[in-house]
Structure 1
Amino acid sequence: MKLPDERLWPLFARRWRPTVTYWSAFFSFGLCIAFLGPTILDLRCQTQSTLQQITWVFFSQQFFLLLGSSAGGLFKRTLLSSLSALLSCTLIISLVFAVIPLCHHVVLLSVAMAFAGQAMGVIDTIANLQLVRLYQKDSAVFLQALHFFIGLGALVSPLVADPFLADGSCVLSANWTANSSSSPDLQHLRSSLSGHATALHNTSQYPLYTEGVVITKVSYAFWIMALINLPVPAAVLTLMYHERFLPCFDNSPRLLDKDSQCSTSAVRDGSQGHLSGCCCCNPAKLRDRPATFFILHALGGAILFLTDGIIGSYAGFVYTYAVSPPLLMGHKTAGCLDSIFWASITAGRLAFIYLSYRYTAPRLLTISLVGVILVQCLLLIFYTSSVLLFIGTCVLGLCISSVFPSMLAFTEDILEYKGCATTVLVTSASAGEMMLQLLVGSVIHSQGSYAFMLCGTIASFIGLCLFLLLIYVQRVHRSRYADPPENMDMKEQTPGGS
């Protein structure tokens, strides 16, 4: 038997073009998801809006990201439709970066971010789905690398934006004084607004001007990010050219589409298109599915709903938790926690690229989920320790970083790579990231900052219980249901091989 690395390198060598393309698309995803937090005050100045108005931009992006994740499953039938959607979405992200400096009203900015969110959601679903189809049982390693590129993009965009952020008030009114909006207050406010849901709480205490002379250079940051992102749609276009999906190659054999699962199934069924017998969500096929098929989808989605919700709420509220009693950290010190958390997630995904082909996905998931619980329990018990909060933030990021890609690979493996699981799981994760932030924000607002860590600990325990139930249902499913022999042959296909 070949060692994992001896098997994976030849696979990657044959399929490096589509793989690198999907990785680059996720860099674009990360670039777009992380810029709002640090730039939101300058965008408030640009649109001359109040804090309450500008924070709805967060909601616009998150809500349409959720819709885009659901819509991404519509493009999975053929590789041509997937790559066409990926090309459009990566171009939209560059276009949004370019037009944001021209949005001088908060409604226009919200519309631009809605387009960006929709594009991000489609990218999220398509890239995950296509990598699963490319590598199937070996997809865990490549999914870990895929999600590493989100973190890489999320680290780049704040670094690009930072030199262009205003140090003081960027809207100067006629009665402005030097002490009216000091840098420490702005730093505190900028850190408070780094999360999507936190922005709606306790912002009225900052009397920032909406009328006056706007002085901000943040436009240059967005134009730079638009240029940084342009190689991504170029990479997608290059892949389409190589695989002869462009109009000038209409009469040439298509290298990837002929191997897609739906095409193969359609040929076997003697059908003329991709709609007959190839989609796992085909109503005729769904009637034949056992109950465990649907339960596995629901459990996998619920686990990612909770774990991605923990990521979103922790990133959004750890600053608020740190500057509140009993910790009462300084604003500058507390502001580092969010960066440490995302950096540890990125480092964890890089480490799990190696671990994923040394250990099975269930083992990695068990270790990760238990680690998340232990860390949050320690943070809950020693809630007065600032040092432990920094250490716990780092370890929590490392533990939770691999849950999404490992769960996706594991669930698709259980369900024999039908493809529907990816759409369900990605959509559930996006919903969890948005909904749990709103829920935790409401609880903190009514019960105090200690409820923040308690909510995360409860969600972690529920996630582990659901995972144990998933393992049990998986065994029942495997013992009672197996694909017909012709579908087993289909798994030997290599969609996307080049």
Structure 2
Amino acid sequence: MTRLTVYQNCNILPKVVDERIRALFRSNWQHTLTYWSVFFSFGLCIAFLGPTILDLRCQTRSTLQGITLVFFSQQFCLFVGSTVGGFFSKSLGRRNFPEAVLKGRSKESDKPNVFAFIPACVNLPMLAVAMATAGLAMGVIDTISNLQLVKIYQKDSTVFLQALHFFVGLGALVSPLIADPFLSETDCVLGNATINSSSTVRHLRNKLSGRHIHNVSNIHFHTEGQVLTNVSYAFWIMALINLPVPIAVFVLIYWERMLSCRCEHNPHLLEGSIHMYGLKEERSSEQQEVISPEHTDSRGYLKLLNCCPLSKLKELPLSFFGVHILGGLVLFFSDGIVGSYTGFVYTYAVSPPINMSHKTAGYLSSVFWTSITVGRLASIVLSYRVKPVLLLTINQVGVMVTLFVLLLCYTSSVFLFVGTGLLGLFISSVYPCMLALTEDILDYKGCATTVLVTCAGMGEMLLQLLVGSVIHSYGSYSFLLCGLVFGCMGFTLFFMLLVIDHIHRHYMAAAPRTISEADVARH
């Protein structure tokens, strides 16, 4: 059965999508479905550590302060993996680019292996190494999946990026449901007479599920005694659930290697990888023979992530760098809001003046992720009808206004739930829309995606630490104030990006003919 026959028997695109996009999907459905499944696995993995952290503490017989270091090791390596993934996919030449992508995809096989290995981690260093390995693999996958969908669909990538990030939210929703039946209700190291209340353990688990690693130094657990925990079953189930994903990746690798001519005839995987800046118009066959990939390599056009030719740095407009910087900063604050909100909304809710019960406050994080998932699902349809710049404008204004109203109604527990849902809806599609917008501005070279994914990971990691320190120093009220400041800064940077976009498009409208003639003459 051919791949086209498989697609025709399972056409998942709705009829409202026009035939051009359906044809694009039909040509690339194997890659697209694989990336979507990879990101569902990504969501499962990223949300699984928080709920299980107390049981893992028992398993490794470590202190609470020690086990929270696992959060840092995973998050830091995820950031490193995002950066490495960009360099990994862009540092090779045109002839080796498909092989780089395939090697990056094969990183997906690390995750089921890691989940199966975690129950065997009997001490903290082994667990930290395992989670760091998973974080590194997830970071590489994050960059390459976004990068490849942008390259495949280009101007139509918004719809498919929205679907990609929808699967992250879906995985993050499903993950705690898998873990919950196997979590200990009380301290799982017997002999601990200090903390044995199920409500206390639930309260602490809710804090740590949001990766809240601050202000836990005053809580002490025993590390010696009989360990009673069933969390190993949860990790084995996760390993089994994740197992089909690397199988799908290896099937795709098998197809790529069996079709040796595919690399030459699939322009979606290759186009934009070695385009010279400003050379967007079509060339004749004679010109394309003159400007060969090998010749391009020798002239240094594949340097600096294949986007900024070293020999032409002085000719690049400042707007080129401005788009990268501003786009990255917008996602720095956007993902920073997501990370800090999920990390500290529970702590804010159970603190004065709201003083919400522990059980009720525990639902806030679920409400937030549910609204993000629903928002991304709705954005799949909206992005087909609405341009990314308009969606981003609505989202940025909505995030800022919601955080402002939350700050005004800081004593209302009801509006905290309503505002949490609205914030999730507005912020849900910022990430994929920003990727699509910046790549559209820069002619889909793929380098903007690498910069943006890296900045987003950095923002989620650093701003969460910053907010935690501010809350620890000034109280829980500063939580919403920090969010509003981040939202205003994100909106301001987005407005600046629109201005730079206008300047850059005017430059590109005037520059291509002159640059193209000069480059062709030089070659």
1:280/1:187 CA distance change after superposition, 3 Å: same
Counterparts of residues 190-269 of structure 1 (less than 5 Å): 190-196=205-211, 198-201=212-215, 203-243=216-256, 245=257, 249=258, 252-255=260-263, 259=267, 260-261=270-271, 269=291
2:448 to 410, 417, 421: 421
Counterparts of residues 367-386 of structure 1 (less than 5 Å): 367-386=394-413
What is residue 493 of structure 1 aligned with on the other side? Answer: none
Q: Distance in 1 between matches of 2:513 and 2:274?
A: 14
Q: Distance in 1 between matches of 2:407 and 2:495?
A: 24
Partner amino acid for 2:231? Answer: V
Q: CA-to-partner distance for each residue in 1:35-76, whole Å, 9 max, x for gaps? A: 111000000000111110000100001111111111111232
Contact 1:344 1:397 in 2 (8 A): yes
Q: Distance in 2 between matches of 1:421 and 1:298?
A: 9
Counterparts of residues 343-382 of structure 1 (less than 5 Å): 343-382=370-409
Q: Distance in 1 between matches of 2:157 and 2:390?
A: 16
1:265/1:376 CA distance change after superposition, 3 Å: closer
Per-residue deviation, 1:439: 0.5
What is residue 465 of structure 1 aligned with on the other side? Answer: 492
1:270 to 292, 302, 318: 292
Counterparts of residues 24-63 of structure 1 (less than 5 Å): 24-63=37-76
1:449/1:211 CA distance change after superposition, 3 Å: same
Q: CA-to-partner distance for each residue in 1:435-481, whole Å, 9 max, x for gaps? A: 00000001000111110000000111111111111111111011012
TM-score, length-scaled by structure 2: 0.87
1:147/1:167 CA distance change after superposition, 3 Å: same
1:286/1:264 CA distance change after superposition, 3 Å: closer
2:105 to 83, 86, 109: 86
SS at the partner of 2:293? coil
Q: CA-to-partner distance for each residue in 1:145-181, whole Å, 9 max, x for gaps? A: 00001111112221111111111111012xx45x841
Contact 1:380 1:454 in 2 (8 A): yes
Contact 2:367 2:421 in 1 (8 A): yes
TM-score, length-scaled by structure 1: 0.91
Contact 1:263 1:274 in 2 (8 A): no
What is residue 494 of structure 1 aligned with on the other side? Answer: none
SS at the partner of 1:215? coil
Is 113-122 or 264-273 further displaced after alignment?
A: 264-273
Per-residue deviation, 1:265: 5.2
1:63/1:486 CA distance change after superposition, 3 Å: farther
1:186 to 189, 201, 205: 201
What is residue 93 of structure 2 aligned with on the other side? Answer: none
Percent of aligned pairs with the same amino acid: 58
Is 445-454 or 260-269 further displaced after alignment?
A: 260-269
Per-residue deviation, 1:235: 1.1
Per-residue deviation, 1:311: 0.3
Q: Does 1:148 align with 2:166?
A: yes
Q: Distance in 1 between matches of 2:200 and 2:410?
A: 26
What is residue 292 of structure 1 aligned with on the other side? Answer: 319
1:163/1:486 CA distance change after superposition, 3 Å: farther
What is residue 113 of structure 1 aligned with on the other side? Answer: 131
1:486/1:172 CA distance change after superposition, 3 Å: farther
SS at the partner of 1:172? coil
Q: Distance in 2 between matches of 1:100 and 1:31?
A: 15
Over the aligned positions, Cα root-mean-square deviation in angstroms equals: 2.1
Per-residue deviation, 1:223: 0.9
Per-residue deviation, 1:206: 3.0
What is residue 398 of structure 1 aligned with on the other side? Answer: 425
Per-residue deviation, 1:209: 1.5
1:443/1:417 CA distance change after superposition, 3 Å: same
Q: Distance in 1 between matches of 2:427 and 2:416?
A: 16
Q: Distance in 1 between matches of 2:315 and 2:427?
A: 36
Q: Distance in 2 between matches of 1:264 and 1:447?
A: 51
Q: CA-to-partner distance for each residue in 1:266-297, whole Å, 9 max, x for gaps? A: 96522338845351144234443211100110
Contact 1:280 1:286 in 2 (8 A): no
2:475 to 435, 444, 448: 448
Partner amino acid for 1:80? Answer: E
SS at the partner of 1:338? helix
Contact 2:77 2:139 in 1 (8 A): yes
What is residue 190 of structure 2 aligned with on the other side? Answer: 172
Partner amino acid for 1:199? Answer: I
What is the number of equivalent residue pairs in this alignment? Answer: 476
What is residue 176 of structure 2 aligned with on the other side? Answer: 158
Contact 1:349 1:402 in 2 (8 A): yes
SS at the partner of 1:329? coil
Q: Distance in 2 between matches of 1:181 and 1:273?
A: 70
Unaligned runs of 5+ in 2: 1-14, 91-96, 277-287, 517-523
Partner amino acid for 2:390? Answer: R
Partner amino acid for 2:382? Answer: L
What is residue 10 of structure 2 aligned with on the other side? Answer: none
Contact 1:305 1:429 in 2 (8 A): yes
Per-residue deviation, 1:317: 0.2
Q: Distance in 2 between matches of 1:69 and 1:239?
A: 22
What is residue 340 of structure 1 aligned with on the other side? Answer: 367
